[in-house]
Structure 1
Amino acid sequence: MSSAEDDLYQQIVMEHKRAPRNFGHLAHPTHQAQGTNPSCGDKIAVELELDGEHIRNIAFNGQACAICMASSSMMTEAVKGRDVPLARQLQGHFRAVLTGEVEPEDVEIGKLVALSAVRRYPSRIKCALLGWHALMHAIAGQGGTASTETSHSGA
Structure 2
Amino acid sequence: MSSLDQLYQQIILDHAKARHGSGLAGTDVPEGTSSGQSHQLNPVCGDEVTLRVAVKDGAVSQISWDGAGCSISMASASVLSDLAEGMSVEELRGVIGTFRDVLRSRGKITADPEVLGDAAAFEGVARYAARVKCAMISWVAAEDALNQAT
Q: 1:88-119: per-residue Cα shift (whole Å, max 9, x none)?
A: 10011111111116222497211111111101
Paired residues, number: 141
The corresponding residue for 2:11 is 12
Matched, 1:137 2:137: no
Q: 1:14-58: per-residue Cα shift (whole Å, max 9, x none)?
A: 110001001001123521111111111111000111114211011
Match runs of 1:1-150 below 5 Å: 3-6=2-5, 10-27=9-26, 28=28, 30-100=35-105, 102-105=109-112, 108-141=115-148
Deviates more, 1:32-41 or 1:48-57: 48-57
Q: What's the % identity of the aligned pairs? A: 31
Q: Gaps spanning 5+ residues in structure 2: where?
A: 30-34
Q: TM-score, normalised by structure 2?
A: 0.85
Distance in 1, Cα, partners of 2:79 & 2:49: 14
Distance in 1, Cα, partners of 2:113 & 2:48: 31
Aligned Cα RMSD in Å? 2.1
Q: TM-score, normalised by structure 1?
A: 0.83
SS in 2 for 1:132: helix
